[in-house]
Amino acid sequence: MNVRGEIVCLHCGHANGSWSGTAGTALTYSGCATMPEGVQPDEHVRCQRCGGSVFLDGASHLSALDRVRRIRRLRRQLASWDDEAA
């Protein structure tokens, strides 16, 4: 089951963005919507402000329809970028 939620620091409470992936797996940068420079996709997510541990807040299940909508939106964005480049 896939889940989506907000990454929040346990120490300072800073919101570090959103994460989506398989329920029960470790929070790695591969599931982040935006990945900071200089990190590998398989590294565990740490707070960008204080370097502390994080948790997934407001986690909700992703349905197949949500994934299809997201893929369609990304395809439209890619097509518009291609049109702008041409």
19-24: long-range contacts, CB 8 A cutoff, minimum separation 24: 19/45, 19/56, 20/62, 23/59, 23/61
The pLDDT score that the predictor gives to residue 51 is: 92
Ranges of beta strands (E only) in 1-86 are: 2-9, 15-22, 54-61
Burial of 45 from C-beta contacts in 10 A (0-12 / 13-18 / 19+):
buried
pLDDT of res. 15:
92
pLDDT at 63 over 80: no
The predicted-structure confidence for 14-41, as pLDDT tens digits, reads as follows 999 899 888 888 989 988 888 888 899 9
Q: Is 19 buried (19+), middle (13-18) or exposed (0-12) by CB count in 10 A?
A: buried
* pTM score over 0.85: no
